[in-house]
Structure 1
Amino acid sequence: MSAAFIAVCATALAASALTLFSGFGLGTILTPVMAVFFPIEAAVAMTALVHFANNLFKLALFAGKADRRACLRFGLPAVFASFAGAALLLWLADLPPLYAYSLFGRFLAVTPVKLVVGLLVGVFSWLEIAHTLKGRGLPPGLLPVGGLVSGFFGGLSGHQGAFRSAFLLRLGLSKETFIATGVVVACMVDATRLSVYVSHLSVPDVAGNLGLLAAATACAFAGAFVGARLLRKMTIETLHRLVGAMLLVLSALLVAGVI
């Protein structure tokens, strides 16, 4: 069993279980882990597939509990913005390296897509660690704006959860409705960005790892099931900060072109 298989599946299981009550989401954690083993644009697309399948599973667990008005006011702008974010990702992936250098006899290249996604991983990881967005719900009247922001970053790097939670927080939704509404919006964004990524889903890094994707999806399902059974306010501050620190390291490696 390869290191990629073990790392990706273990991450999918743990992240999916934590995503219901942790600031970090599946995509936030899984994307940089995928990027260790695959090109960044393939890593984002592969993570999107697992993320979408997992959200569909969670949608079945919380079926009928979503707030339809919030889904429309937040989700529709997010769908339109995710097109732009996904298109930007693919455009960046086609640009030549910005800088190339050698380190310990290894040729490394800093590409625009690695630089942008790496910086986003770092920024969103820091926001989560510092609790900048946690607990600070934003005015409900800004829901469409929140949808645009969340959808754009969802399409570009998969980081949609932090802004989505911040904007949905002040709606006074029950815990189950809050989660279900977020899942519906996430499914809308995932379906949209995957429709843009589809031209890149046939590349060897994706098509040649369907078994890995299937296993990672199954692990994410298991994690979501466990998370749903344990749904409650949990204090996992140490784990939260440890994961955040690891993501910051991965972010630096991406920006430096090492991975």
Structure 2
Amino acid sequence: MDLVPFFSKLKFGEEKLPLGGFLSGFFGGLSGNQGALRTAFLIKAGLSKEAFIGTAVVVSTFVDFTRLSVYATNVSQSGIGDNIQLVVCATASAIAGAFLGNKLLKKVTLKFLQVVVAIMLILISVALGAGFL
């Protein structure tokens, strides 16, 4: 929708934040795409780029801590020991992405973020539809 000029002017006010959070969390929980749905909503909430990214990071962190607490109860059965290289690579990638994102934040505009998010959502939906994800 961000790539269509009519929808690029669409905005959600602060009064819609609780509803948007509930709906993106609920449907994200059903589909496993919480981040994509949350981002699609937050990008239209009229936040500054710093508030947008900060909100996404804080919410993602809470979601991840919740997941980790569930996984920790079954760590011996989870097979994490068999996939330690994947865990280390994913963790290192997350840290590198956060570091790089912090450096790039000062150089990008919110419009650029909107276009990148729109393109990534399209790519993810195509990959899901094609069965790659």
Does the TM-score normalized on the shorter chain lie above 0.5? yes
Task: Determine the structure 2 residue equivalent to 1:217.
Answer: 91
Higher RCO structure, 1 or 2 (CA under 8 Å, sep 6+): 1
Judge conservation of contact 2:39–2:56 (CA < 8 Å) in 1. yes
Judge conservation of contact 1:140–1:167 (CA < 8 Å) in 2. no
Q: Could you tell me which runs of 5 or more consecutive residues in structure 1 were left unpaired when the two chains were aligned.
A: 1-126
Paired residue total: 126
Report the Cα distance in structure 2 between the residues aligned to 1:180 and 1:242, rounded to whole angstroms.
19
Report the Cα distance in structure 1 between the residues aligned to 2:28 and 2:22, rounded to whole angstroms.
10
- What is the 5 A alignment of 1:1-259? 136-156=10-30, 157-167=32-42, 169-170=44-45, 172-198=46-72, 201=75, 202-204=77-79, 206-231=80-105, 232-233=108-109, 234=112, 241=119, 244-245=122-123, 247-253=125-131
CA spacing shift, 1:176–1:245, aligned 2, 3 Å? closer
CA spacing shift, 1:236–1:178, aligned 2, 3 Å? closer
Residue aligned with 1:208, SS = helix
TM-score, length basis structure 2: 0.64
Judge conservation of contact 2:71–2:78 (CA < 8 Å) in 1. no
1:131-190 deviation digits (Å, cap 9, x = unpaired): 9986633232122222222222444414234335524643x5432122112211221222
CA spacing shift, 1:236–1:141, aligned 2, 3 Å? closer
Judge conservation of contact 1:133–1:162 (CA < 8 Å) in 2. no
Judge conservation of contact 1:128–1:244 (CA < 8 Å) in 2. no
1:77-96 deviation digits (Å, cap 9, x = unpaired): xxxxxxxxxxxxxxxxxxxx
Deviation, 1:229, is 0.9
Report the Cα distance in structure 2 between the residues aligned to 1:221 and 1:214, rounded to whole angstroms.
11
Q: Could you tell me which runs of 5 or more consecutive residues in structure 2 were left unpaired when the two chains were aligned.
A: none
Report the Cα distance in structure 2 between the residues aligned to 1:237 and 1:164, rounded to whole angstroms.
12
Question: Larger Cα Rg: Structure 1 or Structure 2?
Answer: 1
CA spacing shift, 1:218–1:212, aligned 2, 3 Å? same
TM-score, length basis structure 1: 0.38
